[in-house]
Amino acid sequence: MSDASFNTSTARAAHRPDEAGFGDYFALLKPRVMSLVVFTALVGLLAAPVPVHPFIGFCAILFIAIGGGASGALNMWWDADIDQVMKRTKKRPIPAGKVEAGEALAVGLGLSGLSVMMLALATNVFAGAFLAFTIFFYVVVYTMWLKRTTPQNIVIGGAAGAFPPVIGWIAATGDMSVEPWLMFALTFMWTPPHFWALALFMRSDYDDAGVPMLTVTHGRRATRVHILVYTILLALLALGTAFSDIGGPVYLAVALVLNALFLLGALRIWRRDEADSEADNFKTERNFFKLSLLYLFLHFGAILAEALLRPYGLGGWG
Amino acid sequence: MSLRQTHELHQRRFGRNLGVALTLAAFIVIIFGLTVVKVTRGDFEPPQASTGGQG
Phi, psi (rounded to 5 degrees) for B43: -60, -30
Does the distance separating the beta carbons of A121 and B15 come in below 8 Å?
no
Contact of A212 with A150, CB cutoff 8 Å:
yes
Q: What tens digit of pLDDT does each residue of A194-253 get?
A: 999 998 888 777 777 777 888 888 888 999 999 999 999 999 999 999 999 999 999 999
CB contacts of A21 in chain B (<8 Å) are 12, 15-16, 19
Q: What tens digit of pLDDT does each residue of A62-91 get?
A: 999 999 999 999 999 999 998 888 888 888
What's the angle, vertex CA B4, arms to CA B3 and CA B10, rounded to 5? 145
For chain B, say whether A239 makes contact (Cβ under 8 Å): no
Distance from B55 to chain A by nearest Cα, in Å?
A: 35
Does the distance separating the beta carbons of A59 and B20 come in below 8 Å?
no
For chain B, say whether A281 makes contact (Cβ under 8 Å): no
Does the distance separating the beta carbons of B15 and A22 come in below 8 Å?
yes
Contact of B31 with A55, CB cutoff 8 Å:
no
Secondary-structure percent of chain A, ordered helix, strand, coil, rounded to 5: 75, 0, 25
For chain B, say whether A125 makes contact (Cβ under 8 Å): no
**E strands within A101-240?**
none
- Is residue A273 packed enough to be buried (19+ CB in 10 Å), middle (13-18) or exposed (0-12)? exposed
Residues 6+ apart with CB under 8 A from B43: none
Q: How far is CA A196 from the centre of its chain?
A: 14
Residues 6+ apart with CB under 8 A from A300: A39, A40, A43, A165, A183, A186
Spans of all domains in chain B: 11-43
Q: CA separation (Å) from A294 to A52, A61, A262, A290? A: 28, 21, 10, 7
Q: Lowest-pLDDT range, A109-118, A180-189, A272-281?
A: A272-281
Distance from A4 to chain B by nearest Cα, in Å?
A: 13
Contact of A283 with A23, CB cutoff 8 Å:
no
Nearest to B34 by CA among A122, A51, A53: A122
Nearest to A13 among B9, B33, B34 (CB): B9
Mean pLDDT of A304-313: 92
For chain B, say whether A4 makes contact (Cβ under 8 Å): no
Nearest to A180 by CA among A189, A190, A170: A170
Nearest to A55 among B12, B19, B37 (CB): B37
Phi, psi (rounded to 5 degrees) for A103: -65, -40
Q: What tens digit of pLDDT does each residue of A38-49 get?
A: 999 999 999 999
Q: Report the predicted TM-score, pTM, of the whole model to 2 decimal places.
A: 0.86
Separation of first and last alpha carbons in chain B: 74
Does the distance separating the beta carbons of A22 and B34 come in below 8 Å?
no
Does the distance separating the beta carbons of B12 and A56 come in below 8 Å?
no
Distance from A305 to chain B by nearest Cα, in Å?
A: 27
Count interface pairs A-B at CB distance under 8 A: 37
pLDDT at residue B15 in the model: 86
Mutation to test the A interface, candidates B34, B39, B44, most A Cβ within 10 Å: B34
Does the distance separating the beta carbons of A19 and B12 come in below 8 Å?
yes
ipTM of the prediction: 0.76
Contact of A142 with A157, CB cutoff 8 Å:
yes
Q: CA-nearest residue of chain A to B23?
A: A22
Q: What tens digit of pLDDT does each residue of B9-25 get?
A: 787 788 889 999 999 99
CB contacts of A23 in chain B (<8 Å) are 15, 19
Residue A36 DSSP class:
H
Separation of first and last alpha carbons in chain A: 69
Contact of A199 with A215, CB cutoff 8 Å:
yes
CA–CA dist A193, A267 (Å, integer):
12
Q: How confident is the model at residue B49 (pLDDT cuts 50, 70, 90)?
A: low
Mean residue pLDDT of chain A comes to 90
